[in-house]
């Protein structure tokens, strides 16, 4: 967290800077001249459409085998055909695996299946929810918190030792990218004073605010990864938080309707990037920044500050509390032992 930035967290979080980035800044495309991923394997979640699909396409362009992780197998197969047709590649260069982040069991089964891969070098955890209405899942947590935060953290921790053991040769670590968002910087995070903090997300909000909840889920991930990076070095596996910016065609607004749908469509037409541009930051984090992105927020292809709250004394206190509570919540999967193992050199 001692990285020097070219902008302060507060300035980066301003709307003026957000508009500047959306209109005038974009990550450079990683080309085969820059990176050769031949022989490597990547998992991309939420890869049936939008950002995940574009990330899978760009990784395939670099010679990487891709695992398209999706809830709907048929949509995943359509995505696989879309990115492989017309290419002179072997059929096994793109596979479709089922994954439902609303279910801890699905996450653990998916990770167990990943153990059978010959190689695993990259995981781009892109799947997420932007809930139009407040709903709670089988674990008791609000669904956005369950999917965007708890299940994604669980998947990242379960995949980390697999990547450590199965990454292909060459310099640098494997990489896990937990996709972040500008909205993390704007979240009020009114649950920050709760004791325990995670339990607050089993209670209904006084008034449902979809943007606030989505931003908070992304802020939770920033707080957790900042703590994780203090304990786990990037020697074998780096964990980053890339933000694609606001992109049209991402399918994030699929639950919106009525006036909210209209407002979303207007924003898309005025502000949004293409998913092809947004996905470049995922690929850059995993292929060119690599260890330099460990524990960091990545935007437009370079390391940038996280939400201002992360750097405050209160944010650092809440991060430690959240970190311990999250490991307790995921204790059934042996995550503390996993982290202890990652903290030790081979």
> pLDDT digit of tens for each residue in the chain (346 aa)?
457 898 999 999 999 999 999 999 999 999 999 999 999 999 999 999 999 999 999 999 999 999 999 999 999 999 999 999 989 899 899 999 999 999 999 999 999 999 999 999 999 999 999 988 999 999 999 999 999 999 999 999 999 999 999 999 776 899 999 999 999 999 999 999 999 999 999 999 999 999 999 999 999 999 999 999 999 999 889 999 999 999 987 766 666 666 665 666 667 777 889 999 999 999 999 999 989 999 999 999 999 999 999 999 999 999 999 999 999 999 999 999 999 999 885 5
339, 230 in Cβ contact below 8 A?
no
Residue 1 is assigned to a structural domain of this protein: no
Instruction: Kindly name the residue from 218, 240, 297, 302 that is annotated as catalytic.
Output: 218
- 75's enclosing H/E stretch is helix 73-84
- 133's enclosing H/E stretch is none
Two structure tokens written together for 163 = 């990547």
Of 43, 156, 166, the residue nearest 96 (C-alpha): 43
For position 243, which CATH number holds?
3.40.50.720
Of 144, 180, 122, the residue nearest 296 (C-alpha): 180
User: Which pLDDT value is given to residue 209?
Assistant: 94
Residue 302 is assigned to a structural domain of this protein: yes
User: Which pLDDT value is given to residue 1?
Assistant: 47
Instruction: Compute the radius of gyration of the chain from its Cα atoms.
Output: 19
For residue 87, which phi and psi values (nearest 5 degrees)? -100, 145
Residue 133 is assigned to a structural domain of this protein: yes
Two structure tokens written together for 310 = 């992360």
Catalytic residue check, 214: yes
Instruction: Please tell me the number of Cα atoms within 13 Å of 313 on its side-chain side.
Output: 0
Tokens 């990115």 locate to: 83
311, 215 in Cβ contact below 8 A?
no
Residue 106 is assigned to a structural domain of this protein: yes
Rounded CA-CA distance 211/63 in Å is 37
SS3 assignment for 158-222: HHHHHHHHHCCCCCCCEEEEECCCHHHHHCCCHHHHCCCCHHHHHCCCCCCCHHHHHHHHHHHHH
Catalytic residue check, 149: no
Could you list the residue range(s) of the whole structural domain that residue 184 is in? 9-343
Tokens 């996280």 locate to: 306
Please give the tally of structural domains in the chain.
1
Instruction: Kindly name the residue from 130, 141, 149, 214 that is annotated as catalytic.
Output: 214
Catalytic residue check, 40: no
Two structure tokens written together for 103 = 């279910």
Instruction: Kindly name the residue from 103, 151, 180, 181 that is annotated as catalytic.
Output: 180
User: Which pLDDT value is given to residue 146?
Assistant: 98
């Amino acid at each position: 967290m001692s990285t020097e930035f070219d902008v302060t967290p507060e300035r980066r979080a301003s709307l003026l800077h957000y508009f500047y980035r959306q209109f005038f800044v974009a990550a450079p495309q990683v080309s085969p001249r820059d990176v050769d991923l031949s022989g490597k394997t990547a998992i991309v979640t939420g890869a049936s459409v939008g950002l995940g699909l574009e990330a899978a396409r760009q990784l395939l362009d670099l010679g990487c085998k891709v695992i398209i992780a999706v809830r709907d197998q048929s949509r995943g197969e359509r995505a696989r055909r879309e990115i492989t047709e017309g290419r002179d590649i072997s059929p096994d260069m793109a596979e479709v695996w089922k994954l439902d982040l609303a279910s801890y069991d699905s996450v653990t089964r998916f990770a167990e299946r990943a153990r059978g891969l010959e190689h695993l070098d990259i995981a781009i955890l892109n799947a997420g929810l932007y809930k139009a209405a407040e709903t709670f899942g089988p674990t008791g947590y609000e669904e956005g918190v369950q999917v965007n935060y708890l299940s994604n953290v669980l998947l990242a921790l379960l995949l980390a030792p697999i990547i450590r053991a199965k990454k292909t040769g060459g310099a640098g670590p494997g990489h896990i990218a937990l996709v972040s968002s500008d909205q993390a910087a704007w979240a009020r995070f009114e649950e920050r004073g709760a004791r325990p903090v995670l339990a607050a997300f089993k209670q209904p909000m006084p008034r449902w605010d979809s943007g606030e909840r989505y931003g908070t889920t992304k802020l939770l991930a920033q707080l957790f990864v900042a703590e994780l990076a203090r304990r786990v070095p990037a020697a074998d596996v780096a964990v980053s938080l890339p933000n694609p910016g606001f992109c049209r065609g991402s399918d994030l607004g699929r639950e919106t309707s009525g006036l909210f749908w209209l407002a979303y469509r207007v924003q898309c037409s005025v502000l949004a990037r293409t998913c092809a541009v947004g996905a470049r930051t995922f690929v850059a984090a995993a292929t060119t920044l690599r260890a330099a992105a460990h524990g960091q927020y990545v935007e437009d292809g370079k390391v940038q500050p996280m939400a201002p709250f992360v750097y405050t004394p209160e944010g650092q206190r809440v991060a430690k509390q959240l970190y311990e509570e999250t490991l307790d919540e995921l204790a059934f999967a042996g995550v503390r032992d996993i982290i202890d193992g990652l903290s030790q050199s081979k």
